[in-house]
Amino acid sequence: MGYTLRMANGDIYISSYGFTELISGIEKAEQDLGESLLTVYNPSEDYGSELADLDKNTILVPKLAIQGIVSQKVREAVLRLIRKQTSDKLLTKAEEISEIESITVRSISVSQALFVILVRVAESRIFKKFSVPLKHVLPDSLREELERKARLK
């Protein structure tokens, strides 16, 4: 069975007693999933997501296109994780992602999108929520104007 250190807020979790904790099974699968989505894609290791690259673009993109792009980037990252899991000799069925059930992308503001992913691990399901900055969707001046109007409502 695979074990890893519990993470919290991007760092190793330290309990109130000053100890680290090992996790396995569904907890490890959930943490692995989150880590793969939050790690910048590394082509040489074929691991991580390209979600951070969304923020580097400065073109105006329609909302439906953004939803499709985020969904595609999430799906690609999870498929990379699944491929990586196949070569992990310590991995058990309790932590192996068997399928992506759904990826739902919802725009929640002018500059941010929320996506929800549901994957199946053995007999369990993992439900994760993430937000992605969408500064690239609008030029700064237009985004600031829309945010100002939204505050006035």
Give the confidence band of 136 by pLDDT, cuts at 50, 70, 90.
very low
Note the pLDDT tens digit of each residue in 42-76. 999 999 998 877 655 544 456 667 778 888 888 99
Note the pLDDT tens digit of each residue in 101-120. 888 877 655 556 677 888 88
Give the confidence band of 35 by pLDDT, cuts at 50, 70, 90.
confident
Q: Which two tokens stand for residue 136?
A: 């690239």
Q: Give the whole-angstrom CA distance, residue 37 versus residue 115.
A: 11
* DSSP string of 21-68, one letter each residue: -EE-HHHHHHHHHHHHHHSBPBTTTTBSBSGGGGGG--S---HHHHHH
User: In one letter, which amino acid is 13?
Assistant: Y
Say which residues have a Cβ less than 8 Å from residue 146's Cβ, sequence separation at least 6. Answer: 110, 138
